[in-house]
Homo-oligomer: A and B are copies of this chain.
Amino acid sequence: MQKSKDLASIGIDLGGTNLRAALVDRSGKILDMRLARAADLDAQTILEKLVGCCRELIGSGNARGFRVPAAGLGVAGKIESSKGLVVFSPNLPNLNGYRLGKNLEDALRLPVRMENDANVFGLGESFAGAARGFANWVGIVLGTGAGGCLFLDGKLWEGDHLGFCAEFGHIIVEPGGPQCPCGSKGCLESFASARALVSGARRALDARKIKEGPLRELDNAGKLSAEVIYRYAKNGDPLCLELFDKMGWALGLAISNLFSALGMRRAVIGGGVGGAFELFIGSLQKTLAANCSMLGRQRPEIVRGLLGDSAALIGAARLIPVSG
């Protein structure tokens, strides 16, 4: 029997554009990593790339003296974890209905567990990041869309296993508000995501009849992005600053509802757009104070994720607990 320090797991983050796979030791340290492109590939090719990356990492682990007994996989979308099945992935539609987790498990002959990307973010931040020591907390991942995870009594909450959970991006914050890709209107995601920033900027340019200027030109050239809007906001552009204010307002309302409903007071915000934390936290805190009357004088704790891109890798590697 090997010593317990000699175990490492594979954590995979499968995004809409790239897949990243990492070898992670039991302290949460990333020992080695592989990157491959995933966009526009069919399901079989994605599986083959995953298998290739994992085999390389297993070899790399063995060479370093580690045994690699399991792998975990985070994928954006509706996942049926118990079946290793991607029910619906908005960014990788070729995976819809494909048993990616199950097939990876069969190919590697290792236990593999697949989860929603926001859940693996949460497992990472919980183990080695901003949520370390939190028993009850909500995680919100702001990227192209807005995902969520919920930790209760220190454990990832999975509800009735309906194929969705902690879908905080689809909490309605403004009934009748902007159309969300999910079919509803006024979801958190339609105010707090990269997509919301771009469509919000367009709506504002149109509403204010702004026909020229740098933002309009960027839009006409197809170059209006969340990154551009962030940069303009940092430089004091009022229209862009308002979009982050609105994002904070929407986040404040959603978090207020969650805290009132769950009797808790801690949230961690991550994801690429979560990096704009300083631009929305003021408005978020103000909205939370105005709407979460239940908290009274008890201070809410709203913090940014600490692990960046690594949260998903570290969290995925912890989907299957390993012991020596």
Contacts and interface: CB of A to CB of B under 8 A. Distances in A.
Interface of A: 135-136, 148, 150, 152, 157-168, 170-175, 180, 182-184, 253, 256-258, 260-266, 290-296, 298
A148 B257 CA distance: 13
Which 6 pairs between the two chains have the least Cβ-Cβ distance? A159-B263, A165-B263, A182-B293, A164-B294, A167-B260, A183-B293
A130 to B, nearest CB: 17
A253 B172 contact: yes
A172 B293 CA distance: 11
B162 A261 contact: no
Interface of A is mostly: loop
A157 B294 contact: no
Contacts of A175: 173-174, 253, 291
Contacts of A161: 263
B293 A184 contact: yes
A153 to B, nearest CB: 9
A166 B261 contact: yes
Contact of A136 (B159, B266, B291, B295): B159
A265 B298 CA distance: 31
Contact of A170 (B162, B184, B293): B293
A296 B174 CA distance: 21
Contacts of A266: 160
A264 B160 contact: yes
Contacts of A171: 257, 260-261
A182 B258 CA distance: 16
A294 B168 contact: no
Contacts of A180: 293
Given A162-B263, A182-B294, 18 more contacts: A148-B261, A150-B262, A157-B262, A157-B263, A162-B265, A162-B295, A166-B262, A167-B261, A167-B263, A168-B260, A171-B260, A171-B261, A172-B253, A172-B257, A173-B175, A174-B175, A175-B291, A180-B293
Q: Which of A148, A150, A261, A294 has the most CB of B within 10 A?
A: A261
Contact of A172 (B136, B158, B160, B291): B291
Contacts of A160: 135-136, 263-266
Contact of A256 (B166, B168, B172): B172
A124 B137 CA distance: 28
Given A182-B293, A291-B172, A158 B263 contact: yes
Nearest to A168: B261
A191 to B, nearest CB: 11
A291 B182 CA distance: 9
Contacts of A295: 162, 164
Nearest to A180: B293
B263 A164 contact: yes
A182 B253 CA distance: 15
A294 B166 contact: no
B167 A264 contact: no
Contacts of A158: 263
